[in-house]
């Protein structure tokens, strides 16, 4: 049976948020019209951002174990709702028997460049260091800015930490601080390039910025991939 394979757990709340979006984006009037999904929720994967920055253990062996789990259940496409994990995208693609969607590619493809003055990228320090969003924006000649290390990025780090700990109001407070800095520097669009940031955005003043939720775009691309192939119709004759 064709199905979406989700390599998740980084973190668990963000994976639940991704699944919520995936289900809500699916045009279904009954259970049998939904898309089959297998989720590998692996919260013990070493912190990807820390590893990229040289401050933690390499998570690649654990990520590859997750890919093998999805191979074993015959996933028809693999999605990874963790931006920093895409630092190892090529290695994961080589190990996967199914195509793997790239979160930064599908997110940047959703940007309507007309009228966009500058795009701010909010993500972990590791995701910024590996440049997954910068490369995609540069390929489309879309101007972007990164948070100032001693102000905006620290606020983003604090936001992510608070959301992971379940402190949503505090997370929103820190995201509001980072959004003000981005708006003051001329940003019109904000890429939420971390899975906890869309949750924080529900509690934040985003300063009128147009938000681009990377996990929402990944869910949208996943649903589109499955619907084109009719995976939502597999149970109709059962």
Residue length, the chain?
238
Q: Tens of pLDDT along 101-112?
A: 999 999 999 987
DSSP string, 91-142: HHHHH-SS-B--HHHHHHHT---TT---EEEE--HHHHHHTHHHHHHHHTT-
47: left (phi over 0), alpha (psi -120 to 50) or beta: beta
In the chain, which stretches have pLDDT less than 70?
1, 113-116, 235-238
The answer to whether 171 and 139 are in contact (CB under 8 A) is no
- Bridge partners (DSSP) of residue 45 are none
What's the pLDDT at 176? 98
CATH number given to 105-213: 3.40.50.1860
The pTM of the whole model exceeds 0.85: yes
Domains 4-102+217-233 and 105-213 share a fold: yes
Q: Tens of pLDDT along 85-144?
A: 999 999 999 999 999 999 999 999 998 765 567 999 999 999 999 999 999 999 999 999
Q: Are strands 119-122 and 189-192 parallel, antiparallel or unpaired?
A: parallel
The answer regarding whether domain 4-102+217-233 maps to CATH 3.40.50.1860 reads yes
The residue extents of the domains of the chain are 4-102+217-233, 105-213
- Sheet order of strands, 210-213 included: 144-145, 119-122, 189-192, 210-213
Residue 35: exposure state from Cβ atoms within 10 A (0-12, 13-18, ≥19): buried
Q: Which residue has the tokens 């630092």?
A: 87
């Amino acid at each position: 049976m064709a199905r979406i394979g989700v390599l998740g757990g980084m973190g668990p709340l963000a994976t639940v948020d991704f699944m919520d979006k995936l289900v809500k984006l699916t045009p279904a009037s009954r259970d049998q019209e939904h898309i089959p999904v297998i989720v590998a929720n692996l919260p013990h994967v070493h912190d990807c951002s820390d590893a990229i920055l040289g401050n933690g253990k390499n998570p690649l062996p654990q990520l590859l174990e997750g890919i093998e789990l999805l191979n074993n259940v015959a996933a028809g496409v693999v999605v990874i709702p963790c931006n920093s994990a895409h630092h190892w995208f090529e290695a994961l693609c080589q190990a996967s028997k199914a195509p793997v969607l790239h979160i930064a590619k599908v997110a940047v493809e959703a940007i309507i460049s007309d009228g966009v003055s500058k795009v701010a990228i909010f993500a972990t320090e590791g995701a910024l260091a590996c440049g997954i969003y910068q490369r995609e924006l540069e390929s489309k000649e879309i101007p972007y800015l990164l948070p100032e290390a001693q102000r905006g990025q620290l606020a983003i780090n604090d936001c992510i930490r608070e959301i992971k700990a379940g402190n949503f109001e505090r997370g929103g407070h820190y995201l509001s601080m980072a959004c003000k800095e981005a708006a003051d520097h001329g940003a019109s669009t904000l890429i939420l390039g971390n899975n906890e940031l869309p949750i924080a955005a529900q509690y934040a003043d985003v300063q009128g910025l147009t938000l681009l939720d990377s996990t929402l775009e990944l869910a949208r691309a996943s649903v589109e991939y499955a619907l084109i192939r009719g995976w939502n119709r597999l149970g109709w004759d059962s």
